[in-house]
C-alpha cells in the first residue's frame, strides 16, 4: 500500500468498558504503540507493525500481531468515534469488544 495512513502521528483512546487502551500511531504510519490502561490486561504495552485498509470514508480495518503471538483486528470509525475490536490471545481465548474511540492529546 503506497497511501500513507491518514491518522499517522495521532493518539487515540479506546474504551470498551471492561478494557481501555491508548493507541499511538507513529508519524510514518507503520507502527503503533499500544498501552492497556484498564481491565484485566492493564499494564500490557508494546510497539507493533500494523496494516490497515480503508473500508469507507472514515472506517478502517487495522490489524497487528503482538510479541506474544496474540492477534488483534480493529474496525475503527474515526468519524463517529466507534471501535470494534476482535482479538485472540496466545491461550486461544477470543474476544469481541465494542466501544468508544476518541483522539487524545499527546502526553
Q: 3-state secondary structure string, 29-73?
A: CCEEEEEEEECCCCCCEEEEEEEEEEEECCEEEEEEECCCCCEEE
CB 98 within 8 A of CB 84: yes
Residue 2: the pLDDT is 65
CATH number at residue 60: 2.40.128.20
In a domain, 43, yes or no: yes
Tens place of pLDDT for every residue, the chain, 107 residues? 568 899 999 999 999 999 999 999 999 999 999 999 999 889 999 999 999 999 999 999 999 999 999 999 999 999 999 999 999 999 999 999 999 999 998 76
CB 11 within 8 A of CB 105: yes
What are the angstrom distances between the C-alpha of 44 and each of 17, 32, 37, 48, 82? 17, 14, 8, 13, 22
Residue 23: give the domain boundaries. Answer: 11-104
Amino acid at each position: 500500500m503506497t497511501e500513507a495512513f491518514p491518522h499517522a502521528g495521532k493518539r487515540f483512546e479506546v474504551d470498551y468498558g471492561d478494557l481501555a487502551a491508548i493507541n499511538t500511531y507513529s508519524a510514518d504510519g507503520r507502527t503503533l504503540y499500544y498501552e492497556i490502561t484498564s481491565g484485566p490486561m492493564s499494564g500490557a504495552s508494546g510497539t507493533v507493525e500494523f496494516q490497515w485498509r480503508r473500508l469507507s470514508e472514515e472506517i478502517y480495518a487495522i490489524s497487528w500481531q503482538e510479541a506474544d503471538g496474540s492477534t488483534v483486528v480493529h474496525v475503527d470509525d474515526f468519524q463517529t468515534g466507534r471501535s470494534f475490536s476482535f482479538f485472540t490471545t496466545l491461550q486461544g481465548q477470543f474476544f469481541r469488544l465494542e466501544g468508544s474511540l476518541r483522539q487524545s492529546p499527546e502526553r
